[in-house]
Every structure is written in C-alpha cells, then in structure tokens.
Structure 1
Amino acid sequence: MNPLMEGVLETALYADDLDAAEAFYGGVLGLQKISRGGNRHVFYRCGPGVLLIFNSHETVKPPESSSLPVPPHGTKGHGHACFRVGGNDIEAMAQKLKAAGVAIEADFNWPNGGRSIYFRDPAGNSLECAEPRIWGL
C-alpha cells in the first residue's frame, strides 16, 4: 500500500536580505508572519500551508548541538512559488502589486481556463498568483 501525500505543507524560497523579504511578504503581500529567526529565516502562513524564506548563507551551516537536527540545505539562484488566488482576487492582487511598485512580468489566461500573474520578490524569486483551475482544481 502506498502512503498518500495529502498536499504541500511548506514551500521554501531563499533571500539574502531578510529585512527586504519581510517587508515584501508581510507588507506588500500581506502574509501573516509566524516567526523570524534572526538573519536565518522568516516564516509565514499562506492558506493551509507555510511559506519559508531562508537566508541560504545561514542554512548551509550545520545545526548547533542545542538546535533542532535539521540538516544543512539551501539553493543558489532564483526559485519559483505559485500562490493560490481566487479569480475574483487576482485583479485586486495585481492592482495591489502595481500600487507597491512591483512590476507584473506576465498576465494571461491559460488555454484550459484560469488566470496567472507573474512578478518578482526583492531577491529575484519568480512568484505567481493563479486560479486553482489552471491545474483542474
């Protein structure tokens, strides 16, 4: 019997400047902050999941003996995350981003239905807000 994966619990992106990331994800996008761990990470609620923003310079360090045994991890380069946004809210999000000076890189309707908007966070990560129906959900 194969175990059932119920969904994605957390998504991680990486940013060297956590202050800029915190201002963007908490201020511009309006996500609820769970916690911040110095210059290592800042975590946010995002619907039923969690968005983790890590400083890769810190997460590649081995854990201290008194900390949780999370193995070193990280990535180089820009990542991508897509946020689930209802069709009625995508235009409002696009306007909110534009008002904050965030450029919309792409805005289109998928052939199978559903709209997506693409933009970048201060670290250069590619972000998308999309209707769930782009994946038939």
Structure 2
Amino acid sequence: MTAPEILGTLESALYAPDLDAAEAFFAGTLGMRVIARQPGRHVFFAAGDSVLLVFDPDATAAGSPAGARLPVPGHGARGPGHYCFRVAAGALDAWRRHLEAHDIAIEADFTWPNGARSIYVRDPAGNSVEFAPSVLWFRPLSDGGREP
C-alpha cells in the first residue's frame, strides 16, 4: 500500500525554558510575527507558510491535563535542537549583516558541495538556527517545479 502524499511541513518545534528571550530573538531580532502565546507554556511564530512553535519543555512534557479541551500528548526535548529558515540565496549577505548588527554571533557561514550557502547562529536557548535557500535540498526545474 502506498502512503498518501505529504504536502510539506506545517509546523516544527524548538524548546526553550526562557520564552521571553525566545520571543525577543525570533520576533524582535528576526522580525517574525507572533501568532499565539501562552505565558509559561509557548510562543508561536509565522514562518512563511509554516509555523515555528517554541515551547517551554517543562510545561509540555506531561501533555494536556486530564479533561483538557485539546488533549495534546506530552512532548519535549532537552539540549539544542535545529531549525532552518528558507531564505532567498541573494538575501544571505543581508541576513549576515542584520544578525551581526544585533550582536548575534555567526557560528558558521559556508557553501555546501552543491553550491548552496548556509549561515548558522544560536538562539538564546542554544538551538542551532540556520538560514539557507531552497537549493540546499531542491534544485529548480525548467517547468517551474523542483526536484530533490
């Protein structure tokens, strides 16, 4: 039996015990729009056509309490996670300048063997945050589509 088609990533999560610092970084420094916030539990950000969820790992480890309206299973992670923002290849120099202007240390800036460039920084919780163009994983086709 063939699996139904996966259309893409709708949301991805990072974990940060200091949600105020996470919001200052993602909304303040990176300019992302906050779309939901529950103090002490989470802050969610619009990321193009997907969502970046940032949870306090202690608050989500047990899941929703018994009888909750939304019975979300427990989840969480300890230690640094990773998130990659898809950006235009031509915007990488501007991103580097922007990050440096906000005193965000560039951890790595290099070109992969396929010619795609990535810039890596750390968020306040120590998560690895990458900026890279789609060609890192997908090359454009002449018909406007893309191929992995």
- For the aligned pair, the TM-score class normalised by the smaller chain equals over 0.9
- Give per-residue Cα distances to partners, 1:9-59, cap 9 Å, x unaligned: 101000000000000000001111101011100000000100000000000
CA distance in 2, matches of 1:62, 1:84: 30
Structure 2 unaligned residues grouped into runs of 5+: 140-148
1:20 aligns with 2:24: no
1:81 aligns with 2:83: yes
Structure 1 stretches of 4+ with a deviation exceeding 6 A read none
Aligned to 1:94: 96
Aligned to 2:116: 114
User: Following TM superposition, by how much is the alpha carbon of 1:7 offset from its aligned partner in structure 2, in angstroms?
Assistant: 0.6
Output the TM-score relative to the length of structure 1. Answer: 0.96
User: Following TM superposition, by how much is the alpha carbon of 1:110 offset from its aligned partner in structure 2, in angstroms?
Assistant: 1.3
* Residue type at the aligned position of 1:59: T
CA distance in 2, matches of 1:96, 1:62: 37
- Give per-residue Cα distances to partners, 1:61-114, cap 9 Å, x unaligned: 341323311011111111001110001111111111101110001101111111
2:36 aligns to what SS in structure 1? strand
CA RMSD of aligned residues (A): 1.0
CA distance in 1, matches of 2:19, 2:103: 19
Output the TM-score relative to the length of structure 2. Answer: 0.89
Contact 2:63–2:75, Cα closer than 8 Å, also in 1: no
Aligned to 1:45: 46
Structure 1 unaligned residues grouped into runs of 5+: none
- How many residue pairs get aligned? The number is 137
| % same residue | 52
* Residue type at the aligned position of 2:20: D
